[in-house]
Amino acid sequence: MNRFSGTVVILASGPSLVESDIDATRHLPCISVNTTWEKARHCQVIFAGDHRWWCDNADKIDIPAHRASLSYNSERQYNAMRFKSKVGTDGGYNSGAVAIEYALANGAERVILLGMDCSVKLGEHHHGKHPKSPNPNEKKCALWKTQFMAVRKRYPESNVVNCSRYTELDMFPCMPLEDALCAHGLIYATHSQSGGEYTAMACKG
């Protein structure tokens, strides 16, 4: 059974991700990549391909999100169900790239990307550096671009839109988040400063 339908948002770890973009998409199904779940506690899925990430972080997760990985060991030890990727390998792939494949394989008809910088020009991550990982760096970013392109080639008919405020991924169409939502009749949510609620905003005509 497919986990998703319609539009799915993937919130990645790039420093371009801001809370207003997270707030604007809280009404949509969401996949958080790696540590982004800490800011997107509403996410349905936490996707982290690297077993080392699960070793360092699994015990910290206190939300009921589904866990997914590329790793047999992560599935066995941390209940992070192994996704059988057609383009990624255990421990050797960018989690954001495989998260796109995961969304498509689980029924997403359209995928919106946020925080997919694939660059260190604005910094490393929006959540700070992983304590035991050398990622990211310029060399890694260059490798990751080829991996995102592999996803594009594997799923050429997929509808993936990159709404990251800064990105060096040019294999997916780019547009502002509000335009991407409104083009498909989706609401643009915002945080209510008075009551802490998330309310719909009308798209600009």
pLDDT at position 91 is 47
Residue-level pLDDT, tens digit, the chain, 205 residues: 788 989 999 999 899 999 999 999 998 999 999 999 999 999 999 999 989 999 999 999 999 999 999 999 999 999 999 999 988 654 457 889 999 999 999 999 999 999 998 865 644 554 455 455 556 666 676 777 888 898 999 999 999 999 999 998 999 999 999 999 988 777 766 655 445 555 556 566 5
3-state secondary structure 73-108: HHHHHHCCEECCCCCCCCCCCCHHHHHHHHHHHCCC
CA 46, distance to chain mean position in Å, is 9
pLDDT at position 183 is 82
Contact 71, 93 (CB under 8 A): no
pLDDT at position 123 is 47
pLDDT at position 87 is 81
DSSP strand pairing (81-82 vs 110-114): unpaired
Q: What is the dihedral of CA 145, 47, 177, 190, to 10 degrees?
A: -160
Identify residue 74 by its one-letter amino acid code: S
Contact 12, 113 (CB under 8 A): yes
pLDDT at position 147 is 87
**Global pTM value:** 0.85
Backbone CA torsion sign across 122, 28, 179, 113 = positive
Cis peptide before 131 (omega within 30 of 0): no
